[in-house]
Amino acid sequence: MMIMTKLALASCITALVLLAVSCKQADQPPPATAAPPVITTPSGVTMVAIPGGSFEMGSAASREKDETPHSAYVSAFYMDQYEVTQEHFEKVLGRNPSRWKEPKNPVEQIRWKDAAEYASARSRLEGLEPAYDPKTWRCNFESAGYRLPTEAEWEYACRAGTRTEYAFGDAPSALGEYAWFKENCTRSPRPVGGRKPNPWGLYDMYGNVWEWCNDFYKEDSYASSPERDPRGPPGGETRVLRGGCWNSRACMCRSAYSNDENPGYTDACFGRDVHVFVGFSSPPRERRETLPFGISRCFRSGLGRSPGARVSGPCAPRGTPPAPRGTGRGRARRCRASTRSPGRSW
């Protein structure tokens, strides 16, 4: 999820999550049973303080090239506890593009740019420097504003210190307790927070709506990415989607499952009978003052990260032939934000 706020699109909606980065770092994440603190932002969004640490990204059980296991280190950050709701998206941007309109549902029918626009608007609402350039939509990772999470940040937060296929184990039999997916939800997205959270208190990391990530998609991007805080390739035609959606099969909701889509599309399952949409959530940010709930954050420095959002995308089954140029493959991901914000505390 994004660290600061979340949004999701209807059908195979994508969600947005915001993250925040702290000064404290650890080589390994805390045990999955240790629930991190939760804070409330000035705009009323609850975020989880995700600790920094190393983890194995990908899945040894999968034969997908983009799931090749490799080590990654992610710095601490805050992530939205829930996917961005239609209610909050409309409060920030003054519009609601969702097909299935319900205040507490994740926002859907949004393009990647819509998710970035929301993150920037939310930053301005809280007096922060936006992370995205409105002309190029490039992300300034040094900004104190919100942004979408990187793919590595999304998977790290989703796993919550676990190494299994799902945060609750390897078998998908319990997925219905944690997600709205094909076997228990057949018509549309559901209100956020209706299923159990993962061990770190993040809701709807699986199912409900696909989530956009900040990264461009490249099947073997891990081969040329740094181990510490990887941000994906510098360019590309599609963006990453993560988490699965309400009509995704269980295998598409795994922690390591990666999808991608053309950032201009709002309906990821175009040309199909079932409408699949994309949503997003926003990331955390860094801070220096002591925060409520006993959480201490760093002040924004030259290394500060900006909050991000998490977004979900379309639902295309594994093995689907590559789509023509410009159509994407229906993959989705989430975003995050850094924890450093100059002279501010929550």
Query: What is the pLDDT at residue 27?
Result: 55
Dihedral sign (CA 261, 262, 268, 270): negative
Query: What is the pLDDT at residue 28?
Result: 64
Question: What are the DSSP calls for 148-197, one per residue?
Answer: PPPHHHHHHHHHTT--SSBTTBS-GGGHHHH-B-TTT--SS---TT-S--
Strands (DSSP E) contained in 183-295 are 210-216, 239-242, 258-261, 278-282
86-93 vs 112-125: helix crossing angle, rounded to 10 = 70
Distance of CA 10 to the CA centre of its chain: 16
- For each successive 10 residues of the chain (346 residues), what is the average pLDDT? 38 44 46 81 94 95 91 94 96 95 94 94 95 95 92 97 97 97 91 97 96 94 91 94 94 95 60 34 37 20 28 31 34 34 23
Start-to-end CA span in the chain (Å): 19
Question: What are the DSSP calls for 191-211, one per residue?
Answer: -TT-S---TTS---SSBSSEE
Dihedral sign (CA 232, 238, 244, 249): negative
Q: Please tell me the distance from the alpha carbon of residue 27 to that of residue 30, in angstroms, as a whole number.
A: 10
Question: What pTM, to 2 d.p., does this model score?
Answer: 0.76
Distances, alpha carbon 306 to alpha carbons 3, 75, 339, in Å = 10, 12, 7
Query: What is the pLDDT at residue 264?
Result: 76
Contacts of 223 (CB under 8 A, 6+ apart): none
Question: What are the DSSP calls for 4-40, one per residue?
Answer: S-B-B-SSS--EEEB----S---SSPPPTT-PPPEEE
What is the torsion angle, in degrees rounded to the nearest 10, for the CA atoms of residue 16, residue 21, residue 25 and residue 30? -30
Closest CA to 211 of 110, 77, 132, 118: 110
Contacts of 93 (CB under 8 A, 6+ apart): 117, 118, 121
Q: Which of 45-57 are b and which e, b meaning 16 or more Cβ less than 10 Å from the residue's Cβ? A: bbbbbbbbbbbeb
Burial zone of 323 (CB within 10 Å; 0-12 exposed, 13-18 middle, 19+ buried)? middle
Report whether 176 contacts 10 (CB < 8 A): no
CATH architecture assignment, domain 1-346: Alpha-Beta Complex (3.90)
Here the tokens at position 197 are 């959270």
